[in-house]
Amino acid sequence: MRKFKKIVLILLVAIMFISCGEYNKVLNKGLNADRYKLAVELYEKENYKKAIPLFEKLVGPYAGKPQMERIQYMVADSYYKTEDYTLASYYFSKFIINYPSSSKVEEAAFVGAKSYFLAAPNYSLDQQDTDKALVAFQGFIDEYPNSELIPEANKYYKELISRLERKEFEVAKQYYHTEKYTAAMTAFDTFNEENLGSVFKEEALFYKYKAAFDLSMKSVLVKKNQRLIVAKAVYAKFVKSFPESEHLKEVNNMLEQLEKELVNTREEITKISQN
């Protein structure tokens, strides 16, 4: 039995080497017709990594020929299936431009947009691919409003918007954490003005209140009274906007401190004015 297994293993290894040898022969020295045939076979067997080099060899020789439409789509799809989303989006974009009447163009537009989405980094990094994905999904939604893929496209679009909002929110929060309170308050105001329906709206106003609170409590006497009043105004806006907020206990405790500080500040100002 062991001898039989050993023979089978040797045969499998031999077949693998022969197969690799034939693949390399076609890839490096084969006729374009042979490359095309093998590339399609590998693509249909979902061996995309081996199919890609063959397809790349065919892009030039088959330019302008009927097979090129199929080649260009399979190249794009192969890159997508191997998770090389940058190249996938590039080739899907080329396919849409070159074959606008293709039966595959709707699918290419969606998967191309999704490729940008998957290539986009998390919110803290450069958002170029996020911007490209937004444009691509908006283009898809406008071009194919009745597509069965619209719900999925809308889902990705909303998530992309959320990524950009998260980045803006985190930038504003960074101002707060580095104690640039005035800049933080301005940044949170701008955020809420420009992102009216954002899921971060409550947190943005909460952090604006924290910034106003810290700024007023740490201010010199000459500026403290006015800044305390501003902080109380931000508090009033927060509790009116979010009466059920989980931050209510914290903001109410902060209000008590503001009111005590306001009394102390006014007493101190009165003493100074009397001397």
Mark 89-122 as b/e (b = at least 16 C-beta within 10 Å): bbbbbbbbeebeebebbbbbbbbbbbbbbbbbee
Give the confidence band of 17 by pLDDT, cuts at 50, 70, 90. Answer: very low
CA-wise closest residue to 89 among 109, 104, 70: 109
If you average pLDDT over every residue of the chain, what do you get? 89
DSSP 247: T
CATH 1.25.40.10 is held by the domain 179-275: yes
| Residue of 243 and 13 predicted with greater confidence | 243
Distance of CA 211 to the CA centre of its chain: 28
DSSP 219: S
pLDDT tens-digit series, residues 64-103: 898 999 999 999 999 999 999 999 999 999 999 999 999 9
CA-wise closest residue to 157 among 134, 173, 174: 134
pLDDT tens-digit series, residues 121-174: 665 555 688 889 999 999 999 999 999 999 999 999 999 998 889 989 999 999
Q: Which of 1-15, 117-131, 181-195 has the lowest mean pLDDT?
A: 1-15
Give the confidence band of 4 by pLDDT, cuts at 50, 70, 90. Answer: very low
- Domain spans of the chain, in order of start: 25-82, 179-275
Mark 131-154 as b/e (b = at least 16 C-beta within 10 Å): ebbbebbeebbeebeebebeeebe
